[in-house]
Amino acid sequence: MSDPIRIAILGASGYTGAELIRLLGTHSRAQLAILTADRRAGQTLGAVFPHLAHVPAPPLVAIDDVTDWSGVDVVFCCLPHATTQSVIAALPDHLKIVDLSADFRLADVDVYAQWYGGPHKAPELQKSAVYGLTELARPEVAAARLVANPGCYPTGPHLALVPLIESGLIDPDGIIIDAKSGVSGAGRSAKEGLLHGEVSEGIHAYGVASHRHSPEIEQALSRAAGRSVMASFTPHLMPMNRGILCTMYVQAHENADAATLLAKLAVRYKGEPFVKILPEGTTPHTRHVRGSNLCLIGAVNDRVPGRVILVSAIDNLVKGAAGQAVQNMNVMMGLPETDGLSQYPMFP
Amino acid sequence: MSDPIRIAILGASGYTGAELIRLLGTHSRAQLAILTADRRAGQTLGAVFPHLAHVPAPPLVAIDDVTDWSGVDVVFCCLPHATTQSVIAALPDHLKIVDLSADFRLADVDVYAQWYGGPHKAPELQKSAVYGLTELARPEVAAARLVANPGCYPTGPHLALVPLIESGLIDPDGIIIDAKSGVSGAGRSAKEGLLHGEVSEGIHAYGVASHRHSPEIEQALSRAAGRSVMASFTPHLMPMNRGILCTMYVQAHENADAATLLAKLAVRYKGEPFVKILPEGTTPHTRHVRGSNLCLIGAVNDRVPGRVILVSAIDNLVKGAAGQAVQNMNVMMGLPETDGLSQYPMFP
Amino acid sequence: MSDPIRIAILGASGYTGAELIRLLGTHSRAQLAILTADRRAGQTLGAVFPHLAHVPAPPLVAIDDVTDWSGVDVVFCCLPHATTQSVIAALPDHLKIVDLSADFRLADVDVYAQWYGGPHKAPELQKSAVYGLTELARPEVAAARLVANPGCYPTGPHLALVPLIESGLIDPDGIIIDAKSGVSGAGRSAKEGLLHGEVSEGIHAYGVASHRHSPEIEQALSRAAGRSVMASFTPHLMPMNRGILCTMYVQAHENADAATLLAKLAVRYKGEPFVKILPEGTTPHTRHVRGSNLCLIGAVNDRVPGRVILVSAIDNLVKGAAGQAVQNMNVMMGLPETDGLSQYPMFP
Amino acid sequence: MSDPIRIAILGASGYTGAELIRLLGTHSRAQLAILTADRRAGQTLGAVFPHLAHVPAPPLVAIDDVTDWSGVDVVFCCLPHATTQSVIAALPDHLKIVDLSADFRLADVDVYAQWYGGPHKAPELQKSAVYGLTELARPEVAAARLVANPGCYPTGPHLALVPLIESGLIDPDGIIIDAKSGVSGAGRSAKEGLLHGEVSEGIHAYGVASHRHSPEIEQALSRAAGRSVMASFTPHLMPMNRGILCTMYVQAHENADAATLLAKLAVRYKGEPFVKILPEGTTPHTRHVRGSNLCLIGAVNDRVPGRVILVSAIDNLVKGAAGQAVQNMNVMMGLPETDGLSQYPMFP
């Protein structure tokens, strides 16, 4: 084995932290150096996550108690939105950082302020941050010190829609994204609305027309279109732990249909290890990607002329969070991109 | 107690049959007279549904063995699509019939033939059948001998959209209905795709742009619009047993918004015991209606100007099947419409 | 309708409170007069339980703000353990009370103190409290002012085992009760361990050899045996909302076997509307009782000679809590015992 | 990479086959050479398991069409019970075989005949078969050509109880094993009882005192005791896909308690990569092992003197089937035992 990549995970007691540890357990070079979790400081990893009790890992510490970062190469930051900016701004320069919060995803700090309830605290740092949807920004990620890992909801729609808008095959206006997510996307906080009794055996929409992933989705669609674009985005909470399915309704341009769109995507993602384009007329299940870093995309012609229905599926904790973070780390460190990410989906 | 209403349930061994029996158990006048189930003929109800073992009920018989219908007032027909037409055509005239299959839902027998793979076998009877979305066809249901009970998917969208199209508040074209259903909608057949291992912890779309409820949805929207209308309809299978949520994307006409639409619906359904309009900005959960005959409808203005997102929730086995069937029976027999249907939702 | 029975529910914002309201909605005479919930005081019932938004009910109030109890006949007390004693002690004499907490279940206040971490605050009142497993204490319940409603876990084992011990058919020593409960038994508190992500797709034992329902179980077994008896009781948390299954391993006395035991139970519960004894060799599913007040009991001879395996199933929120509470109220008020409790189980 | 180990999986279209493929995907030397599935012959792996569509694998073939076994080193046999004996008897001598059916698990072919409804068809071959609970039979597995992979239920109890009986710390008589399994243990057959609607939101016991894993459990306990031993074994079906929890009630011999038993197990399994002994007073969750080859064992002193409650947790598809099969292959082939099995559990 080559030299280890020494990893710090900030905010390691949430589901994303656990998932990073699971994936890094199969990485050929990753080594857990620091795990922080303020409310669980002093505890072992096994006390917080009994399923990881047998993993070689340091005990959890409070972030303020980390004074020496010299033994760390890469930081995964899983802290809550808004608290992340100042933490990252204070990290030493030698560290590569993948931030899994929303704090550096919006290039325009005014848009950030509007959606996140206050001014951005590190606007200079924001300028250097790269939005890390790996397949769409590989060279920028490779050159970055700070990567803003995409949100779980935008990942599938970006992969499906950006190449189609860029190529002019679909109308960038009027796109509707009906999204359905497993509950792990809401984190591990003890909230009434996340109890088993409140989540199982039922579904609902939430954050309708007001979810914070809206500006993130629109940022990428707008860049692809070369002008400002709005999209309808409606998230729904599903009675399951993992997985996001996005059903996207788009208007194809003249002469384009599902086959045309899929052909374009197939070319765009040829050779990509994690993005797979399905045969026309088929659409993916989230259970086909559970536990893996895959994003599956399918398309069907609607009965309404010109309309195409695209469906993407990811595991929100993997390609929608920890997996893409590891993928970005691999790119940033010049490692094989699939290292730590080659596990097959787990079914059932 | 007044004279009993003597009930026959044809095809009583499926989930819809069981749900009819559950609801009728709280009906003030219903009495189970005949239960048929060809493959389970000779068995007790408790052998087929142990949760109903303590219910007073006749044993199951084969439908061909029922020769005397004189002790029956009302027939609920829960037979598979396509087999129903000839069965109902052969029933004696004195029977009132609520058909829960799709066989008599499409007024145009050519459309039926196109979607159901063969010519209609009772086209004359079709002419007399009333499509029984109770709140939208109460007088016709009251006068009918044969009511075609609506499909589970169309019920919510019809209740939400028909009044809005009729009043000209929304554009009848371009409507998108993204629907999510619990697995009981697929029935009790032993199919690999319905196994717990294949349904739980995952979601997927199915029948995209090809589901048989499409023409049923469009039939009502077209009638409301006074011209032929198409709609996008995408069903999804949810890892839960009961409930349908329909997220509907519509374009409001000038000056109309979510508040306008909700006000129209509130007037339309004023005093209705089962259709409830939520305050603007809120949307229903399927768990708010589980086990009840309620249909909840909410609406939110989208960020995209002019677009409104409507969400309806029903229990697919109640308002989407057995409950609406009992409601229709009550109307046909001149009984109080809520008889057998006043149970509150069960949560959690 | 006769005069209404005017009901107060103290602690109405939990699952038990919601279930009481659901059941009382089908009661011929119950009328909701007062609902208390300190943290939700001032809110409507619909704000706390959207599935009950359409139910006629007063708004929630803080318990200390209730000064006039003259408009109330019956109190259901759903407050947390330990806080209940002083609340009930302060209620006016004209009220009949069903307490769903554990505060008055243990006749011996020293045992209470040992298991609940402090001295009993109303030892005099305790003397007048009746332990209300209805089928085993009907005359006492009828005469009581204060009924301690049994815990969810003890209900099934008491119904199955007490008659067998009383009749000397089984050995009162060495009984093992392996219990499995749905998560609603743990209430609606926002705790990490009750999140969907922590409960679904997995099972575990908890409170092994230390659960507070142990002394309650043993109290009844000891009374039946006429001497002090211990039992092994191991609860497990199930990834479902409702239902308790108890698998009980007992040693039958000479010449007794599953058939003997079932025959004894069948005689004991003949005519009981809610306790049903299954044919030998069959055992119940919790889904056969979901939403109903039923308790099903089955038995099978083990391969180990003399050992019999009994299985009981209830819905923990109904026969294990709210349903039995309504049943007790009916008995206390001289009403038909099944009023409000005749709903069939809901499946699936 | 060293020379590949060329693998044939017979009966690859079930959950166990899929799980073998998932695990072997992380094995350093395994290579899929032949996949058979008679009813799916001619189809791609992706047609049968879309989550494995992107895995390099040969198409499925009918087992009778496999005539050349020269390109195969190891056979995993996942065929139904009873059909396996003749298939394996016909395989060429150079193949190492891990049989995941029950056909070669019972050393006494008369016991086999009694429990499996007919005489054993390969009694000579049975004599050479090794019962492959790896940790308890490592040398025998290493020397075997044919390993009978243990059943999912026996694995946890064997690991927990065999060392305790061998050491005389517990009474081999009177042991009670209350077992709870996820539904994947019942396979992928389309049966009514395995539908989502029949499995979710409910639990039940099945095969009480008659499950075919009983003689397998007793075979190991009897060997450990040096005499014939019976045990009570009651399986329950859980509304989840993966995991088996076994709650075991044992009588400790004088002076022994939970601490003594755990200390014995800790010594016995010191250094084992997959068997982990928990601290006294703690018991495992199945979700702590999901997707991994771990077996966790905990113990608690019961309140009933002398009784100890042991709890084991495994993933039925991994340590209870495919994982243990890979582990056995590694031992048979002289490979590192953890190869292909070092994935951490997946949570949530």
Mean pLDDT, chain C, integer: 97
Q: Are C203 and D286 within 8 A, CB to CB?
A: yes
For the segment A36-40, the average pLDDT, to the nearest whole number, is: 97
What residues does B197 pair with on adjacent strands? none
Q: Does the structure show a pLDDT above 80 at A1?
A: no
Q: State how far the alpha carbon of B139 is from the alpha carbons of A291, B132, B133, B264, B328, in Å.
A: 54, 10, 11, 21, 11
* pLDDT value of residue A37: 97
Query: Cβ contact (<8 Å) for C241 and A183?
Result: no
- Regarding whether A48 and A127 lie in a shared domain, the answer is yes
- Regarding whether D77 and D226 lie in a shared domain, the answer is no
Q: Which pLDDT band, with edges at 50, 70 and 90, does B1 fall under?
A: low
Question: Which other chains touch chain A, taking contact as 3+ CB pairs less than 8 Å apart?
Answer: B, C, D
Asked if residue B278 is part of any domain, the answer here is yes
Query: Cβ contact (<8 Å) for D209 and C309?
Result: yes
H or E segment at B60? strand B60-61
Q: State how far the alpha carbon of D81 is from the alpha carbons of A194, C182, D84, D85, D103, in Å.
A: 43, 34, 6, 8, 6
* pLDDT value of residue C214: 97
* pLDDT value of residue D201: 97
> How far apart, in whole angstroms, are the C-alpha atoms of residue A227 and residue D268?
68
Q: What is the pLDDT of residues A148-170, one digit of tens each?
A: 999 999 999 999 999 999 999 99
Q: Which pLDDT band, with edges at 50, 70 and 90, does C2 fall under?
A: confident
Query: Cβ contact (<8 Å) for B201 and A290?
Result: yes
Q: Which of residues 101-160 of B touch A (CB under 8 A)?
A: none
Q: What is the pLDDT of residues B115-125, one digit of tens each?
A: 999 999 999 99
Which of residues B93, B128, B163 is at a domain's end? B128
- Strand-by-strand arrangement of the D295-301 sheet: D204-205, D232-237, D176-181, D244-251, D307-314, D295-301, D275-277
Question: Which other chains touch chain C, taking contact as 3+ CB pairs less than 8 Å apart?
Answer: A, B, D
Q: What is the pLDDT of residues A173-186, one digit of tens each?
A: 999 999 999 999 99
D279 contact C CB<8A? no
Report the residue of chain B nearest D187, measured CA to CA: B197
Q: What is the pLDDT of residues D158-213, one digit of tens each?
A: 999 999 999 999 999 999 999 999 999 999 999 999 999 999 999 999 999 999 99
Q: Does the structure show a pLDDT above 70 at A93?
A: yes
Asked if residue B147 is part of any domain, the answer here is no
Report the residue of chain A nearest C182, measured CA to CA: A197
For the segment B66-80, the average pLDDT, to the nearest whole number, is: 97
- Residue D81, domain CATH: 3.40.50.720
For the segment B332-346, the average pLDDT, to the nearest whole number, is: 98
Q: Does the structure show a pLDDT above 60 at B253?
A: yes
Burial readout D230-267 (b: 16 or more C-beta within 10 A, e: otherwise) = bbbbbbbbbbbbbbbbbbbbbbbeeebbbebbbebbee
C45 versus A254: the higher-pLDDT residue is C45
Catalytically active residues of B are 152
For the segment C19-38, the average pLDDT, to the nearest whole number, is: 98
- Regarding whether C188 and C74 lie in a shared domain, the answer is no
H or E segment at D32? strand D30-36
How many domains would you assign to chain A?
2
C18 contact B CB<8A? yes
Report the residue of chain D nearest B48, measured CA to CA: D192
**Inter-helix orientation angle D15-24/D323-333, to 10°:** 50
- Regarding whether C146 and C178 lie in a shared domain, the answer is no
Q: How far is B97 from chain D (nearest CA, A)?
A: 28
Q: What is the pLDDT of residues B194-223, one digit of tens each?
A: 999 999 999 999 999 999 999 999 999 999
Share of chain D above pLDDT 90, in %: 98
> How far apart, in whole angstroms, are the C-alpha atoms of residue A18 and residue D128?
44
Active-site residue, A78 included: no
* pLDDT value of residue B239: 98
Q: Is the peptide bond before D348 cis (omega within 30 degrees of 0)?
A: yes
Asked if residue B331 is part of any domain, the answer here is no
Return the amino acid letter for B259: A
D184 contact C CB<8A? no
For the segment A267-277, the average pLDDT, to the nearest whole number, is: 98
Strand, helix or coil for residue B193 = helix
Return the amino acid letter for C179: A
| DSSP letters spanning B111-141 | HHHHHHTS--S-HHHHHH-EE--GGGSHHHH
Report the residue of chain D nearest C251, measured CA to CA: D174
Report the residue of chain B nearest D184, measured CA to CA: B197
Read off φ and ψ for residue B192, nearest 5 degrees.
Answer: -55, -40
Q: Which pLDDT band, with edges at 50, 70 and 90, does D2 fall under?
A: confident
> How far apart, in whole angstroms, are the C-alpha atoms of residue A66 and residue A68?
6
User: ipTM score here?
Assistant: 0.97
Closest CA to A99 of A183, A170, A16: A16
Strand segments, DSSP code E, in chain A are: 5-10, 30-36, 60-61, 74-77, 96-99, 130-131, 146-148, 176-181, 204-205, 232-237, 244-251, 275-277, 295-301, 307-314
Strand, helix or coil for residue A25 = coil
Residues of B in contact with D241 (CB under 8 A): 196-197, 200-201
Asked if residue B199 is part of any domain, the answer here is yes
Q: Are D74 and D7 within 8 A, CB to CB?
A: yes
* pLDDT value of residue A32: 98
Q: Which of residues 214-233 of A touch B (CB under 8 A)?
A: 214, 230-232
Q: What is the pLDDT of residues D18-34, one digit of tens each?
A: 999 999 999 999 999 99
- Regarding whether B203 and B89 lie in a shared domain, the answer is no
Asked if residue D339 is part of any domain, the answer here is no
Catalytic site residue from D77, D78, D152, D246: D152
Q: How far is D12 from chain B (nearest CA, A)?
A: 16
| Mutation for testing the D interface, residue in C257, C287, C292 having most D CBs under 10 Å | C287
Q: What is the pLDDT of residues C246-286, one digit of tens each?
A: 999 999 998 999 999 999 999 999 999 999 999 999 999 99
B254 versus C126: the higher-pLDDT residue is C126
Catalytic site residue from C77, C78, C152, C295: C152
Query: Cβ contact (<8 Å) for B200 and A240?
Result: yes
- Regarding whether B112 and B165 lie in a shared domain, the answer is no
Residues of B in contact with A283 (CB under 8 A): 204-206, 208
Nearest to D183 among B184, B196, B240 (CB): B196
Residues of C in contact with A197 (CB under 8 A): 15, 183-184, 188, 194, 241
Find all residues with CB under 8 Å of D125, minimum gap 6, and list them. Answer: D85, D88, D89, D104, D146
**Enclosing domain of residue A280:** 152-316
- Residue A291, domain CATH: 3.30.360.10
Report the residue of chain D nearest C243, measured CA to CA: D202
- Regarding whether C225 and C91 lie in a shared domain, the answer is no
D263 contact C CB<8A? no
- Regarding whether C301 and C220 lie in a shared domain, the answer is yes
Q: Are C53 and C45 within 8 A, CB to CB?
A: yes
Mean pLDDT, chain A, integer: 97
Q: What is the pLDDT of residues D88-126, one digit of tens each?
A: 999 999 999 999 999 999 999 999 999 999 999 999 999
* pLDDT value of residue D47: 97
- Regarding whether C169 and C132 lie in a shared domain, the answer is no
Strand segments, DSSP code E, in D105-214 are: 130-131, 146-148, 176-181, 204-205
A76 contact D CB<8A? no
Residues of B in contact with D192 (CB under 8 A): 188, 190
Asked if residue D18 is part of any domain, the answer here is yes
Q: Does the structure show a pLDDT above 70 at C1?
A: no
Query: Cβ contact (<8 Å) for C15 and B348?
Result: yes
> How far apart, in whole angstroms, are the C-alpha atoms of residue A243 and residue A221?
23
- Regarding whether B249 and B182 lie in a shared domain, the answer is yes
Q: Write the secondary structure of D83-134 as one string of H (helix), E (strand) and C (coil).
A: CHHHHHHCCCCCCEEEECCCCCCCCCHHHHHHHHCCCCCCHHHHHHCEECCH
Residues of D in contact with C210 (CB under 8 A): 303
Query: Cβ contact (<8 Å) for B201 and A243?
Result: yes
Q: How far is B305 from chain C (nearest CA, A)?
A: 29
Query: Cβ contact (<8 Å) for B15 and D239?
Result: no
- Regarding whether A135 and A57 lie in a shared domain, the answer is yes
Q: What is the pLDDT of residues C154-178, one digit of tens each?
A: 999 999 999 999 999 999 999 999 9
Read off φ and ψ for residue D36, nearest 5 degrees.
Answer: -115, 150
Asked if residue B13 is part of any domain, the answer here is yes
Report the residue of chain B nearest C243, measured CA to CA: B348
Residues of C in contact with D285 (CB under 8 A): 202-204
- Regarding whether B244 and B122 lie in a shared domain, the answer is no
Tokens coding A73: 């190469």
> How far apart, in whole angstroms, are the C-alpha atoms of residue A327 and residue A294?
11
Q: What is the pLDDT of residues B239-250, one digit of tens each?
A: 999 999 999 999
Query: Cβ contact (<8 Å) for B294 and C54?
Result: yes
Find all residues with CB under 8 Å of C185, minimum gap 6, and list them. Answer: C152, C153, C244, C316, C317, C320
| Mutation for testing the B interface, residue in A176, A181, A278 having most B CBs under 10 Å | A176
H helix count then E strand count, chain B:
11, 14
Q: Which pLDDT band, with edges at 50, 70 and 90, does D1 fall under?
A: low
* pLDDT value of residue C263: 98
A290 contact B CB<8A? yes
Q: How far is B323 from chain A (nearest CA, A)?
A: 19
Nearest to A347 among D26, D49, D344 (CB): D49
Asked if residue C347 is part of any domain, the answer here is no
